[in-house]
């Protein structure tokens, strides 16, 4: 596991986002066991207290659950995972639209550009089959 940390954002939030991305992308499946505090701290070369804070926040958001004596596991609630996925997609879209507006594109132009890009991606995907 490798994360490039941004000095402008608390490390525990960056680790939370990384774990959330792993969950919504399917790398970590519902019910999967996640690394322990010590294992993750050693792997990322981070203070274990930072990892503990990350896990506390993930538990508070009901993204992971602790099973006494067994460790921490990704939630089995598909609806919670879909909620995270939609939230992350919304954040990406907000940044994208804002960036496009800063470049001077009108809303209808943004929609047109996105539509065209999705169409081209679909065609490329079909050709690669």
pLDDT at 112: 93
Helical residues (DSSP H) of the chain, grouped into ranges: 11-24, 37-44, 48-60, 78-102, 107-127
Tens of pLDDT along 75-101?
999 999 999 999 999 999 999 999 999
Tens of pLDDT along 46-82?
999 999 999 999 999 999 999 999 999 999 999 999 9
CA angle 24, 30, 34 (to 5 degrees): 90
- Its CATH class, for the domain covering 11-76, is mainly alpha
In the chain, where the domains are located: 11-76, 79-127
């Amino acid at each position: 596991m490798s994360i490039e940390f941004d000095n402008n954002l608390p490390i525990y939030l960056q680790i939370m986002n990384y774990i959330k991305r792993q969950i919504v992308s399917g790398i970590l499946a519902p019910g999967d066991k996640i690394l322990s505090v010590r294992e993750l701290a050693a792997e990322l070369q981070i203070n274990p207290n930072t990892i503990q804070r990350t896990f506390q926040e993930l538990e508070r958001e009901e993204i992971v659950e602790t099973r006494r004596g067994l460790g921490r596991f990704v939630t089995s609630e598909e609806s919670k995972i879909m909620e995270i996925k939609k939230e992350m997609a919304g954040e990406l879209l907000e940044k994208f639209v804002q960036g496009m507006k800063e470049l001077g594109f009108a809303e209808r132009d943004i929609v047109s550009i996105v539509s065209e890009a999705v169409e081209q991606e679909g065609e490329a995907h079909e050709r690669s089959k």
